């Protein structure tokens, strides 16, 4: 049996739709799940109880999908089944994003559950290389995309983020703990005259079982509102939600939407 550890956005619903048997949907407290009715709700401090409940239901596979804010640990809400996991929590909370997720994978695997990536359950989530809309990149944008990919690769050992904004050869911002939305909302005004792009792709060496880079129509709209000229993703390494709607919206807004092949 499969369980979805579901967060916000449209990914959990899309993954669930690919399954012949309905998965057990689990939601993090305070994070609504679009289009699905959670059977179980949990917090970091009750993760042990969640794992116990999943094992009682016969769950052997777990898929993490959707966005969840980095949780704060509240010792006063810790339950007995989760107490043995505290040393692992401390290790995770002291690590960067990828390090924390590796600890989370370890916890579920030690409980006898295989962690399955969303794109393994729904392979069509990953987009092949090519121009996805009506507008293609010019030579300057191609150069900016190359520089942006280099930036993400260079920052990978620091475990910072999966995207950056580059225009005219200048790096205007990189994703940090605030995520892509914060990056786009805090760009300098000069980005609007630089035909800048948002580039998004997986960090070299990161685990792809959880937290695959994801874009959707909201990303396209946010990029437009930030004054960007395009959204470029690493082909085969980024989940695209509602790809047809993304392409239609990019065309309407005059943005380039390009799945760039890795070099």
CATH code, domain carrying 164: 3.40.140.80
Say if residue 89 is in the same domain as residue 57.
yes
- How many CB atoms within 10 Å of residue 77? 12
Secondary structure percentages of the chain, helix, strand, coil, to 5? 40, 20, 40
Final residue in a domain of this structure, among 121, 141, 160? 121
> Beta strand 130-131 with 256-260: parallel, antiparallel or unpaired?
antiparallel
Nearest alpha carbon to residue 125 among 261, 10, 8 = 10
Q: Please state, in angstroms and rounded to a whole number, the distance separating the CA atoms of residues 66 and 216.
A: 12
pLDDT tens by residue, 124-174? 888 899 999 999 999 999 999 999 999 999 987 776 778 999 999 999 999
> Beta strand 256-260 with 230-234: parallel, antiparallel or unpaired?
parallel
Say if residue 95 is in the same domain as residue 17.
yes
Q: What is the pLDDT of residue 99?
A: 60
Q: Please state, in angstroms and rounded to a whole number, the distance separating the CA atoms of residues 37 and 153.
A: 38
Q: Please state, in angstroms and rounded to a whole number, the distance separating the CA atoms of residues 122 and 170.
A: 36
Say if residue 35 is in the same domain as residue 99.
yes
Residue 137 tokens, joined: 């990149």
Does residue 205 have a pLDDT over 80?
no
CA dihedral over 165, 169, 170, 171, signed as positive or negative: positive
Counting runs of H as helices and runs of E as strands, what totals does the chain give? 9, 13
DSSP 115-144: E--HHHH-GGGBPPSEE-SS----HHHHHH
Final residue in a domain of this structure, among 103, 121, 139? 121
Say if residue 132 is in the same domain as residue 256.
yes
Which of the four pLDDT bands, split at 50, 70 and 90, describes residue 73? confident
Say if residue 165 is in the same domain as residue 204.
yes
Q: Please state, in angstroms and rounded to a whole number, the distance separating the CA atoms of residues 160 and 91.
A: 17
**pLDDT higher for 225 or 210?**
225
Say if residue 86 is in the same domain as residue 136.
no
DSSP 173-216: EE--TTHHHHHHHT--GGGGGTT-EEEE-PPTT--SSS---EE-
When pLDDT is averaged across residues 12-26 and rounded to a whole number, the result is: 93
Q: Which residue range is the domain that position 53 belongs to?
A: 2-121
**CB of 233 within 8 A of CB of 200?**
yes
Say if residue 117 is in the same domain as residue 142.
no
Say if residue 185 is in the same domain as residue 251.
yes
| pTM of structure | 0.81
Tell me the average pLDDT of the chain: 89
Final residue in a domain of this structure, among 98, 121, 144? 121
Say if residue 85 is in the same domain as residue 141.
no
pLDDT tens by residue, 171-193? 999 998 778 889 999 999 999 99
Say if residue 57 is in the same domain as residue 100.
yes
Say if residue 88 is in the same domain as residue 158.
no
Query: For the chain, what is the domain count?
Result: 2
**CB of 209 within 8 A of CB of 115?**
yes
DSSP 155-173: HGGGT--SEEEEETTEEEE
Say if residue 132 is in the same domain as residue 244.
yes
Furthest-apart CA atoms within the chain: distance in Å: 59
């Amino acid at each position: 049996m499969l369980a979805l550890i579901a967060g916000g956005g449209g990914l959990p619903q899309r993954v669930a739709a690919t399954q012949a048997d309905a998965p057990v949907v689990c939601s993090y407290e305070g994070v609504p799940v679009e289009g699905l009715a959670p059977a179980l709700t949990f917090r970091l401090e009750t993760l042990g109880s969640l794992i116990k409940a999943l094992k009682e239901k016969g769950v052997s596979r777990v898929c993490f999908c959707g966005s969840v804010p980095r949780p704060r640990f509240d010792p006063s809400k810790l339950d007995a089944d989760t107490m043995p996991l505290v040393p692992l929590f401390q290790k995770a909370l002291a690590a960067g994003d990828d390090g924390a997720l590796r600890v989370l994978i370890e916890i579920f695997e030690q409980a006898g559950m295989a962690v399955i990536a969303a794109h393994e359950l729904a392979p069509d989530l990953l987009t092949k290389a090519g121009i996805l809309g009506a507008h293609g990149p010019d030579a300057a944008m191609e150069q900016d995309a190359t520089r942006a990919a280099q930036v993400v690769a260079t920052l990978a050992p620091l475990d910072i983020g999966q995207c950056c904004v580059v225009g005219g050869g200048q790096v205007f911002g990189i994703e940090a703990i605030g995520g892509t939305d914060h990056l786009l909302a805090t760009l300098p005004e000069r980005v609007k005259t630089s035909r800048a792009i948002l580039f998004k792709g997986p960090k070299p060496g990161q685990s792809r079982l959880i937290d695959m880079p994801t874009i959707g129509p909201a990303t396209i709209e946010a990029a437009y509102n930030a004054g960007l000229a395009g959204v470029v993703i690493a082909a085969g390494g980024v989940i695209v939600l509602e790809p047809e709607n993304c392409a239609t919206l990019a065309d309407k807004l005059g943005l380039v939407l390009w799945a760039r092949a890795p070099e």
